């Protein structure tokens, strides 16, 4: 921890020194000016409205994308037709650049809910693929045991599937939260809905307020980090309360099925 | 209950694993299926449980049986336990009707009480095997099907386990596969080749 703090302090120092050397507040501002800009911005109620508006929209897009991704993965796991049907869509969602999505969605629905849709479209394939991979890696021998003992769906989910897909879900959440923020803010910068972080970033660019630009970027980083912590805590809650117990499986270690 | 295994055969590719095997399994009877490694003992049990189908022949549940499937307490060749959960949870989760207290009471017959709440991944191989045996024997079933249940058990524990199995068997049929007949003299020996 001490080492980590020291490394961060070193980078902040390098950043501050670079800004002093360049000595041009349009090209680069240092951490001190960034914090000063952030304090100035935060004294304006519009700043907080923008933060809340963007966080709510991107958060909603993330939640909807994650839930839909998990739900569709569960369906695709059970029905190969669903999996085959979704395969080209998921491949397209992964390949299409965010900017193209933003422009298309902007034409379709306007700029107000743009970041919700964009975050959703970015999060859905990540959560879908991660969940499906987790489900596919479920121990078939445990599922066979559950079948023989006629174990019901709820208990199968709790005792077999959730421990297996848990780490895939955590990794999906970690990856997609950062992506949701990056794409959601990019959508706001392009779509320009008023009273959002993206709009703040755009205005900073127009007026060459590099301090504000850095301050907004810092806000995005902090919010993305906070979101990651909150959602990971939510997803870890069943493990902390002992509802799900994760463990590596070694059921294959004692020979095959045939004798 | 009577299970009639009528002339079943099973092959994997060119390899014939079971050839024209017949057996009638009846209530209150115990059977030990012996044979060399690869002789098809596990495959026979898997066919009996409906996990695989025979290429030829058929298996019938005779009489007025209440389920369309075999309601069995099963020990697989591997333990197939939920490694992150305790022995009590592993046993209790196998039946909706079993309370954790009941599972604990059953487990205490074969395992030390201080081992029952640890994740099973922390138990020894022999202890895991006993958890799998208790899980199979303590649920309400119509037949016990145990595939090499004594793997990893020393003689003392094997004796205790046999006694426990016989106690839990009640009037139900019991089918065991084993390399050794030691301690299983009460069973009818069925050789499979």
Give the model confidence (pLDDT) of A84-122 as tens digits.
999 999 999 999 999 999 999 999 999 999 999 999 999
- Cβ(B85)–Cβ(B116) under 8 Å? no
Confidence of residue B38 (pLDDT cuts 50, 70, 90): confident
Closest Cβ opposite residue A159 in set B39, B74, B93: B93
| Binary contact (A247, B84; C-beta < 8 A) | yes
What does residue B117 show for φ and ψ, rounded to 5 degrees? -105, 0
Distance CA B79, CA B76 (A): 6
**Strand ranges across the sheet with B30-34:** B72-75, B143-147, B174-177, B30-34, B188-191
Look at residues A51, A13, A46, A49 and name the one whose alpha carbon lies nearest to residue A219.
A51
Closest Cβ opposite residue A258 in set B42, B84, B85: B42
State the pLDDT at residue B64. Answer: 73
A132 CA: distance to closest CA in chain B (Å): 21
Look at residues A185, A186, A163, A179 and name the one whose alpha carbon lies nearest to residue A228.
A179
The pLDDT of residue A247 is above 60: no
| Binary contact (B79, A254; C-beta < 8 A) | yes
At B59-73, the pLDDT tens digits run 988 877 777 788 999
Confidence of residue A255 (pLDDT cuts 50, 70, 90): very low
Q: What is the mean pLDDT of chain A?
A: 91
Burial of A41-62, coded b for 16+ CB within 10 Å and e otherwise, reads: beeeeebeebbebbbebbbbbb
| Binary contact (B93, A155; C-beta < 8 A) | yes
At A200-229, the pLDDT tens digits run 999 999 999 999 999 999 999 999 999 999
Residues in chain B within 8 Å Cβ distance of A247: 82-85, 119, 121
Please, which residues bridge with residue A204 across strands? none
Number of Cβ within a 10 Å radius of residue A170 = 18
Residues in chain B within 8 Å Cβ distance of A155: 93, 96
**Averaged over A148-170, what is the pLDDT?**
93
What does residue B59 show for φ and ψ, rounded to 5 degrees? -120, 125
State the pLDDT at residue A131. Answer: 97
At B6-32, the pLDDT tens digits run 999 999 998 999 999 999 999 999 999
Distance CA A186, CA B110 (A): 62
State the pLDDT at residue B68. Answer: 76
Look at residues A178, A74, A240, A259 and name the one whose alpha carbon lies nearest to residue B78.
A259
**CB of A142 less than 8 A from some CB of B:** yes
The pLDDT of residue A26 is above 80: yes
| Binary contact (A159, B76; C-beta < 8 A) | no
- Cβ(B57)–Cβ(B6) under 8 Å? yes
State the pLDDT at residue A43. Answer: 95
DSSP H helices in chain A: 2-22, 31-42, 45-78, 80-95, 98-109, 114-136, 140-148, 153-156, 162-191, 197-206, 210-240
At A28-80, the pLDDT tens digits run 999 999 999 999 999 999 999 999 999 999 999 999 999 999 999 999 999 99
State the pLDDT at residue A13. Answer: 95
Distance CA B105, CA B107 (A): 6
Confidence of residue A175 (pLDDT cuts 50, 70, 90): very high
Which domains are seen in chain A, by residue range? 44-253 (1.10.3720.10)
Look at residues A197, A166, A181, A165 and name the one whose alpha carbon lies nearest to residue A65.
A181
Residues in chain B within 8 Å Cβ distance of A243: none
Confidence of residue B36 (pLDDT cuts 50, 70, 90): confident
DSSP H helices in B49-154: 87-92, 100-108, 125-138
Please, which residues bridge with residue B143 across strands? B72
**Averaged over A229-250, what is the pLDDT?**
79
- Measured on CA atoms in the order B133, B135, B140, B145, is the torsion positive or negative? negative
The pLDDT of residue A253 is above 60: no
**CB of B80 less than 8 A from some CB of A:** yes
Provide the ipTM: 0.92
Confidence (pTM): 0.85
State the pLDDT at residue A252. Answer: 38
């Amino acid at each position: 921890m001490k080492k980590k703090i020291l490394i961060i302090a070193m980078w902040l120092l390098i950043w501050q020194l670079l800004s002093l050397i360049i000595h041009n507040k349009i090209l680069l501002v240092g951490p001190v000016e960034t914090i000063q800009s952030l304090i100035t911005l935060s004294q304006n109620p519009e700043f907080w409205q923008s933060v809340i508006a963007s966080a709510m929209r991107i958060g909603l897009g993330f939640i909807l994308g994650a839930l839909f991704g998990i739900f569709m993965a569960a369906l695709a796991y059970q029905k190969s037709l669903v999996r085959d049907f979704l395969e080209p869509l998921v491949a397209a969602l992964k390949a299409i650049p965010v900017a193209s999505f933003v422009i298309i969605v902007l034409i379709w629905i306007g700029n107000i809910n743009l970041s919700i849709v964009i975050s959703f479209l970015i999060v859905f394939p990540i959560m879908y693929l991660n969940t499906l991979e987790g489900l596919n890696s479920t121990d078939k021998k445990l599922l066979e045991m559950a079948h023989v003992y006629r174990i019901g769906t709820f208990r199968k989910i709790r005792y077999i599937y959730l421990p297996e897909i848990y780490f895939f879900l955590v990794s999906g959440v970690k990856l997609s939260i950062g992506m949701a923020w990056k794409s959601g803010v990019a959508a706001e910068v392009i779509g320009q809905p008023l009273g959002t972080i993206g709009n703040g970033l755009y205005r900073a660019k127009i007026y060459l307020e590099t301090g504000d630009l850095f301050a907004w970027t810092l806000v995005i980083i902090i919010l993305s980090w906070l979101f990651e912590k909150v959602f990971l805590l939510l997803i870890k809650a069943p493990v902390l309360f002992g509802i799900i117990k994760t463990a590596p499986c070694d059921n294959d270690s004692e020979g095959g099925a045939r004798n | 209950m009577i299970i009639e295994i009528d002339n079943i055969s099973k092959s994997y590719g060119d390899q014939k694993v079971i050839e024209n095997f017949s057996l009638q399994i009846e209530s209150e009877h115990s059977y030990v299926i012996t044979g060399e490694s690869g002789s098809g003992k596990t495959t026979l049990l898997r066919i009996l449980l409906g996990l695989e189908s025979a290429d030829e022949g058929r298996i019938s549940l005779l009489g007025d049986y209440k389920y369309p499937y075999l309601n069995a307490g099963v020990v697989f060749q591997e333990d197939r336990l939920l490694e992150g959960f305790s022995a009590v949870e592993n046993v209790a989760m196998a039946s909706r009707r079993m309370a954790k207290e009941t599972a604990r009471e059953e487990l205490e017959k074969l395992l030390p009480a201080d081992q029952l709440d640890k994740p099973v991944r922390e138990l020894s191989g022999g202890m895991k095997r006993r958890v799998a045996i208790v899980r199979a024997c303590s649920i309400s079933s119509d037949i016990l099907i145990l595939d090499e249940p004594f793997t990893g058990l020393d003689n003392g524990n094997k004796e205790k386990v046999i006694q426990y199995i016989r106690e839990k068997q009640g009037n139900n049929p019991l089918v065991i596969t084993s390399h050794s007949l030691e301690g299983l003299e009460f069973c009818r020996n069925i050789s499979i080749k």
